[in-house]
Amino acid sequence: MELDSMNRASPSLDEACESLLLLLREPLSSSGCSSQVRAALRRVDDACGPSLATRTKFAKSQPQLLRAAIRFLTLKRSPAQRATIMGSLARCRCPQCLMYMALEYTEDAPDEAFVLNPKFMTHFIGTFTTLLSLVLVDLTRGRFRNGKSDKSSDAQPWPLEPNDLLPYGMKVSIEGFSGWASGNYGYEPHILQLVGKVASFHLPFCQEVVKPPYKLSAILPLQQLENAMKRYADPSRGDLTERATEFESEVRLASNILQDLGLAIQSNVFFTVDSKRTLSVFKRLLEHLSRLPISRDIFADMIPQFEDYVVIAQSHVDEDEGRIPQLGELLSRITLPSEDDPKEGYNMMVIARRGGCWNISCTADSEGLRTPLCAQCDLIRYCSKRVSASQS
């Protein structure tokens, strides 16, 4: 029998999943404690294993947990309700856990400091957004899973249909996601990553996300990138290396939604809602990334991506200000792939081929993957022959 650091028996996988299922369904009625929840989360982490295939297989094997998780995350709640839920989940109810929690998380009184502990909530939220994302990424866009005649209704694969994917509907789900993504605890980038995966899989949801007021497609991603920089600069959140590792992860998660939306549907709302602020954020992000005290190999793939975002944001600032830059200035903004890095060049070609209309003056609302390829290069796309001809 396994024992945790408190010399108590660790839960079996079935016990862990059952306890987490009850928490998701009734987060305010649990009689457990935070250390028991963490033990259940660790058991799920262990079951997922190190490989993507193992994690995806495990995620698919837990349809009840997936359905409870998506309901938990998409139900519209007030800030006070979310705070009450977080307090209920994170507060310890076992006297023997108090000293352990104080040593692990804070030097303050655990009753006061642990109620809204960011690390606990990041682990909790991140576990379920990851499981949901793994399943969606493994599916073909728009192709829901088939029901199984030998399975009961609650054991059917997830998701079977749009109402199974978003049980409260798209508008309520957007409000529910937005509520969880509006804070500053550290788990919000996980919510944004899941939103991107849902949008990439289900085009109608993506189309709804990129409509005004652009909370999930522009305002909140930008806000969370700024929050990530603030958390990184806060020395109270741990030593520099620890903060750098968390910063890299948060930035990657929060920025993934831009790629997911861009590949799912032609949309530049992120760069147009507040172009000057967007430009400033990505310039500062590049500055932070260039100085991170961790191995550059961990985040090297983000550098060219953010350099491209700076170019796009700058072009929108120029347009807003009625400024037409000279050709030399435009060329100086573009970072070409290294001749010694064919992988980077190949990735740029993949993005180009999967992207939408390449006529930057085109305002048509076109879906990237269904936009015709250029007849001459068979690489980039235009939404119509007329738009393509205007670029010739």
331-375 tens-digit pLDDT: 555 555 555 556 555 555 555 554 555 554 555 544 444 456 677
Contact 3, 9 (CB under 8 A): yes
- How far apart are the C-alpha atoms of 365 and 319, rounded to whole Å? 19
Dihedral sign (CA 42, 46, 52, 54): negative
- How far apart are the C-alpha atoms of 315 and 321, rounded to whole Å? 10
Cis peptide upstream of residue 162 (ω within 30 degrees of 0) = no
Q: What does the pLDDT read at residue 17? A: 96
Helix axes 13-25, 63-74, angle to 10 degrees: 30
> Could you tell me if residue 320 is left (phi over 0), alpha (psi between -120 and 50 degrees) or otherwise beta?
alpha
- How far apart are the C-alpha atoms of 341 and 338, rounded to whole Å? 5
Number of Cβ within 10 Å of residue 80's Cβ equals: 8
Could you give the angle at the alpha carbon of 76 between the alpha carbons of 173 and 71, nearest 5°? Answer: 60
Q: What does the pLDDT read at residue 198? A: 97
25-29, 287-291, 321-325, 350-354: least confidently modelled range:
350-354
Contact 162, 168 (CB under 8 A): no
Q: What does each C-alpha distance from 199 to 116, 136, 215, 244, 370 come to in angstroms?
A: 29, 10, 14, 29, 16
Pick the more confident residue, 41 or 87.
41
Number of Cβ within 10 Å of residue 133's Cβ equals: 23
Check residue 9 and report its DSSP letter.
B
Q: What does the pLDDT read at residue 114? A: 38
Q: Which amino acid is at 181?
A: A
Pick the more confident residue, 174 or 10.
174
Q: What does the pLDDT read at residue 38? A: 86
**pLDDT per residue over 211-244, tens digit each?**
999 999 999 999 999 999 999 999 988 899 999 9
pLDDT mean across residues, the chain = 81
**pLDDT per residue over 81-91, tens digit each?**
998 888 777 76
**pLDDT per residue over 90-101, tens digit each?**
766 565 555 444
Q: What does the pLDDT read at residue 5? A: 46
Band (pLDDT 50/70/90 cuts) for residue 382 is low
Phi, psi at 334, each rounded to 5°: -90, 130
Q: How many CA atoms lie within 13 A of 227 on its CB side?
A: 20
**pLDDT per residue over 120-169, tens digit each?**
889 999 999 999 999 999 999 899 999 999 999 889 999 999 999 999 99
Band (pLDDT 50/70/90 cuts) for residue 6 is very low
Q: What does the pLDDT read at residue 379? A: 62
Q: What does the pLDDT read at residue 361? A: 52
Q: What does the pLDDT read at residue 385? A: 64
Phi, psi at 341, each rounded to 5°: -130, 75
Q: What does the pLDDT read at residue 160? A: 97
> Percent helix, strand, coil in the chain (nearest 5)?
65, 0, 35
**pLDDT per residue over 250-261, tens digit each?**
999 998 898 888
Going through the chain in order, the beta strands assigned E by DSSP cover: none
Check residue 186 and report its DSSP letter.
S
